């Protein structure tokens, strides 16, 4: 593994507090790989052989059932995915594929579990990471169950605006078809939903979103930190 990747991974919250020795042991069997876009990395149901760390690019976590599929999350650098499956030694619940050209580190799951068993600091870091993941999914669940698709989109727009630095105009950072799937609707409906936001002062041209009336949009979206804040 190249030194740069080694340092990048070491600086992750998940690995920052463990001993040098344990970190080295963890990295011994690990390797970094470059993947092109649209490559399947793992399939749900497979045994969790590797903990994945996205160093660059982005990864789509999705799931399939009975011919349908849905995107559940996007993983962006630098973050890990499938940690829960790894520590439980259980099959993946989600599939993963690259959204773009991506550099990904693969750490053998058995090494993660072995170090986890002896390194209390690592175990505590895993807790933080899992608690964060858990709370993220719960928020997403609330978003899905408590809001209509138009409300979900309105709040998504506000969240993206915040990520972009509170500006009034910004770009969507993923395909609309995928955004539709993430938001739990069809691409056709997403198109119509964007039109449905026009009365609340949202304009969309291609991937550019412009918020003309912040107050009106917020009055409609009713954003809630317990659903929409990533930090809470």
Distances (CA, A) of 100 to 59, 119, 143, 219: 8, 35, 27, 36
Give the tokens for residue 44: 């749900």
Q: Where in 140-179 is the site for a copy of itself (CB under 8 A)? A: 140-142, 144-147, 151
Q: Does 226 help bind a copy of itself (rule: CB under 8 A)?
A: yes
Q: Which of 164, 191, 214, 224 binds DNA (CB under 7 A)?
A: 191
Q: Does 230 help bind a copy of itself (rule: CB under 8 A)?
A: no
Q: Does 150 help bind DNA (rule: CB under 7 A)?
A: yes
Measured between alpha carbons, how far is 15 from 82 in angstroms, rounded to an integer? 15
Q: Which of 28, 195, 219, 222 binds DNA (CB under 7 A)?
A: 195
* Binding partner of 49, given DNA, a copy of itself, none, CB within 5-8 angstroms per partner class: none
Q: Which of 37, 134, 171, 177 binds a copy of itself (CB under 8 A)?
A: 134
Q: Where in 156-185 is the site for DNA (CB under 7 A)? A: 175-177, 184-185
- The site map against a copy of itself for 101-130 (x = CB under 8 A) is ---------------xx-xx--xx-xxx-x
* Binding partner of 32, given DNA, a copy of itself, none, CB within 5-8 angstroms per partner class: none
Distances (CA, A) of 144 to 68, 116, 189, 202, 224: 17, 34, 15, 21, 14
Of residues 25 and 204, the one with the C-beta less far from a copy of itself: 25
| Binding segment toward a copy of itself, per CB under 8 A, in 6-14, 27-35, 60-68, 188-196 | 60-68
To the nearest 10 degrees (0 to 180), the angle between helices 120-146 and 149-163 is: 140
Q: Enumerate residues 6+ apart whose C-beta is below 8 A from 206.
A: none
Q: Which residues bind a copy of itself (CB under 8 A)?
A: 44-45, 63-66, 68-70, 72, 83-85, 87-88, 90-91, 93-94, 116-117, 119-120, 123-124, 126-128, 130-135, 137-142, 144-147, 151, 184, 222, 224, 226-227, 232
């Amino acid at each position: 593994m190249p030194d740069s990747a080694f340092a990048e991974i070491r600086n992750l919250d998940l690995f920052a507090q463990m001993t040098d020795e344990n970190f080295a042991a963890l990295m011994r069997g690990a390797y970094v790989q470059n993947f092109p876009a649209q490559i399947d990395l793992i399939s749900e149901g497979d045994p969790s052989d590797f903990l994945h760390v996205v160093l660059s690019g982005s990864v789509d976590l999705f799931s399939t059932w009975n011919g349908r599929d849905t995107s559940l999350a996007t993983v962006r650098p630098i973050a890990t995915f499938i940690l829960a499956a790894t520590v439980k030694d259980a099959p993946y619940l989600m599939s993963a594929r690259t959204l773009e050209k991506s550099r990904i580190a693969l750490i053998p799951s058995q090494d993660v579990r072995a170090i986890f068993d002896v390194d209390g600091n690592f175990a505590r870091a895993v807790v933080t990471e899992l608690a964060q993941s858990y709370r993220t999914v719960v928020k997403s669940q609330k978003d899905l169950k408590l809001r209509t698709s138009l409300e979900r989109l309105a709040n998504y727009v506000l969240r993206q605006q915040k990520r972009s630095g509170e500006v009034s105009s910004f770009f969507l950072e993923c395909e609309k078809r995928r955004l539709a799937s993430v938001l739990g609707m069809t691409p056709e409906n997403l198109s119509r939903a964007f039109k449905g936001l026009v009365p609340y002062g949202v304009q969309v041209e291609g991937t550019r979103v412009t918020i003309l009336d912040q107050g009106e949009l917020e009055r409609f979206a009713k954003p809630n930190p317990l659903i929409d804040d990533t930090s809470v």
